[in-house]
Amino acid sequence: MKAEPIFEIRPVHGEGPVWCPIEKKFYCVDLLKGTYYKIDFLTGCFSEFSVGQELGVLALCTSGRIITGVRDGFGFYDEEKKQLRLVENSPEINVKKRRMNDGAVDPKGRFFAGTMEYDGKNATGSLYRLNTDQTVTCLERNIFITNGMGWSPDCKTYYMIDTMRNVMYAYDYNIETGNISNRRRHIQWGKNEFPDGMTVDSEGGFWVAMWNGKKISHFDREGIWIEDISIPVSFVTSCCFGGEENNTLFITTSRLNLTEEEQKKNPLEGRCFAVNTNTKGQIEPRYNG
């Protein structure tokens, strides 16, 4: 499998890829810039929207709105009015040293997202659940960088990465309540390996973007390594499944930590990539609130 650059966009810090199977559109964020792209898969035409805050992650809603994880917590973005409305009692309002980083929607339509300090050096991050009635529940604390997350196909297990601990955790998941319990290490990397965003496929396997690793690492449901997909850039940030058959892996990357000279030498830094796989992704749920 070979990853190829796709779409004519080049975020500074690309993250948060989302595929819409209904409109055949791909979304991704430019995190610190506080914008997101909405791209037509068939034509490559795109629009860019600015939400006005650092934007870690977004998700689609059953109502047609966009739900976001931003610097101040959770908020809805209106593309027509070009306005961000924070959820009442959003958990991180005016906390200047932290921001939302990554998230995902559970099979019942609840939006999970977590925080980190801007430099990721201290374990002050938290994992939050935005319930369908727009109340917020804190599920976990003392996280360095709340990152890639997802659920097993049978909905019994929730997974979350803490990048600076070089680990993917697994939790027992109560699909009725949205609660997590019994945390354990599912995949442990070396101290110089930094897992970032990820997606869980329809077989329960993991596709993990490796920050400063130039690759996507593929593991089976038990966390056993299968293969690496080489990406021709330094900082690979996240991935999701999409495309006509839901077997195309879309990949985001970053050029945030590179000098201008380094970026000139490799103009692919920051681009999105795609690779066709022999595996299908799960259909991503929408926030139901």
145-176 per-position pLDDT tens digit:
999 999 999 999 999 999 999 999 999 999 99
Q: Say yes or no to pLDDT of 99 above 90.
A: yes
| Residue among 196, 201, 220, 228 flagged as catalytic | 196
- Report percent pLDDT > 70 for the chain: 100
| pLDDT the model gives residue 115 | 98
| pLDDT the model gives residue 46 | 97
Report the alpha-carbon distance of residue 246 to residue 19 in Å, rounded.
Answer: 9
* Residue labelled with tokens 């727009």: 134
Answer yes or no: are the C-beta atoms of 128 and 149 closer than 8 Å: no
Q: Say yes or no to pLDDT of 288 above 90.
A: yes
244-283 per-position pLDDT tens digit:
999 999 999 999 999 999 999 999 999 999 999 999 999 9
Report the alpha-carbon distance of residue 179 to residue 187 in Å, rounded.
Answer: 21
Report the alpha-carbon distance of residue 15 to residue 36 in Å, rounded.
Answer: 9
103-139 per-position pLDDT tens digit:
999 999 999 999 999 999 999 999 999 999 999 999 9
Report the alpha-carbon distance of residue 202 to residue 142 in Å, rounded.
Answer: 30
The domain ranges of the chain are: 4-276
Average pLDDT of the segment spanning 230-242? 98
| pLDDT the model gives residue 253 | 98
| pLDDT the model gives residue 1 | 81
| pLDDT the model gives residue 94 | 82
Long-range contacts of 127-134 (CB under 8 A, 24+ apart): 127/160, 128/73, 128/74, 128/91, 129/178, 130/67, 130/74, 130/87, 130/287, 130/289, 131/178, 131/289, 132/108, 132/287, 132/288, 132/289, 133/289, 134/87, 134/88, 134/289
Task: State the CATH architecture for 4-276.
Answer: 6 Propeller (2.120)
Question: pTM of the entire structure?
Answer: 0.97
Q: Say yes or no to pLDDT of 237 above 90.
A: yes
* Residue 196 a catalytic site member: yes
